Amino acid sequence: MLRYILTRLLGAIPTLAVIVLLAFLLTRLAPGGPFDEEQALPPEIRANLERAYGLDQPLHVQFGRYAAGLLRGDFGPSFKFKDFSVTELIATGLPVSLQLGALAMLLAVLLGVPAGVAAALSHNRAADHLVMALAVLGIAVPVFVVAPLAALVFGIYLQWVPVAGWSPGNARDMVLPTVTLALPVIAYVARLMRGSMLETLRSPFVRAARARGVPRTRLVWRHALPAALTPVVSYLGPATAAVLTGSLVVETIFGLPGLGRYLVQGALNRDYTLVMGMVIVYATFMILLNLLVDVAYAFLDPRVRPGGRR
């Protein structure tokens, strides 16, 4: 098992390298530079600026410097937030985004799994249809529509929770962002869970357990659930991607000072180093979480483990 985790970790390194290289090359494709302002800068100032940021060097030297910096945890200076380095911006944004994303994923599993099981147990009855209708709604309506609507209804009309803002430690600030971010994932998890639960309940080992007289609750939660969870676990990889992209919208709408908002601001300001840094951080997260999911999957299902069952 340890060996499997190590090989997977080593395997993630080339993917990360490709991402860094791709991000770097894409930003250097730009026809304009980061110092293209409304008013053209005098050439000597421009040259000085480019020298200060190392942009006068050949491409491979620039990349070497950037990559070496990354290894030291230095993402370079932000072109537009002039008083901050990208590393500092990441350090301020990361805790907020981490908290938001982790809470949303947790909520998605805690609500999605029971909802799916409940739907499967009342197959083709009212509760099933209700859960599935809600799930279709949750999947089809994008976060950037749900978020403002939720802010309108719960923040402005009902005044239950603050519309926007962020103060560390205030749980009420997190309610709307977390729930809106989690909604599509809850919906998807519920739908997956229902399908695989229905299938598992029909499988021979569950029928055998039922024939042995195992009580229904125990049958569902102890016998069927672990087997039925595998598709949900393998969906957690794509779910991470959904939560990461969704967090761009949620952080922007609710004014959370997280990575997503910096990425969007960086994109609007054409702040290359900031965008590159944020993309690399997001990509690293996605790869690491996918790895985690694969490892969890190998724990749950011995068939995908190299070498099989011990």
Q: In the complex, which residues of this chain contact another protein (CB under 8 A)?
A: 15, 18-19, 22-23, 26-27, 29-31, 136, 140-142, 144-145, 147-149, 151-152, 156, 241, 244-245, 248-249, 252-253, 263-264, 266-268, 270, 272, 275-276, 279, 282-283, 286-287, 290
Tokens representing 91 are: 């350090």
Nearer to another protein, 65 or 270 (CB): 270
Tell me the closest approach of the beta carbon of residue 240 to another protein, in angstroms: 10
Tokens representing 274 are: 């900031």
Tell me the closest approach of the beta carbon of residue 152 to another protein, in angstroms: 5
- CA dist., res. 229 & res. 196, Å (int): 8
- Closest listed residue to residue 199, CA positions, set 227, 219, 171, 176: 227
Other beta carbons less than 10 A from residue 220's beta carbon = 19
For residues 239 and 183, is the Cβ–Cβ distance under 8 A? no
Nearer to another protein, 15 or 57 (CB): 15
Tokens representing 153 are: 């209804």
Tell me the closest approach of the beta carbon of residue 164 to another protein, in angstroms: 11
Q: Where are the alpha helices (DSSP H) in the chain?
A: 2-28, 43-52, 59-71, 86-121, 126-140, 143-150, 171-201, 204-211, 216-218, 225-228, 230-254, 259-269, 272-300
Sign of torsion, CA 255 257 35 275? negative
Nearer to another protein, 115 or 143 (CB): 143
Tell me the closest approach of the beta carbon of residue 254 to another protein, in angstroms: 11
- Closest listed residue to residue 113, CA positions, set 217, 201, 230: 230
Tell me the closest approach of the beta carbon of residue 280 to another protein, in angstroms: 9
Nearer to another protein, 48 or 245 (CB): 245
Nearer to another protein, 270 or 305 (CB): 270
Tell me the closest approach of the beta carbon of residue 57 to another protein, in angstroms: 19
Nearer to another protein, 201 or 263 (CB): 263
- CA dist., res. 260 & res. 270, Å (int): 15
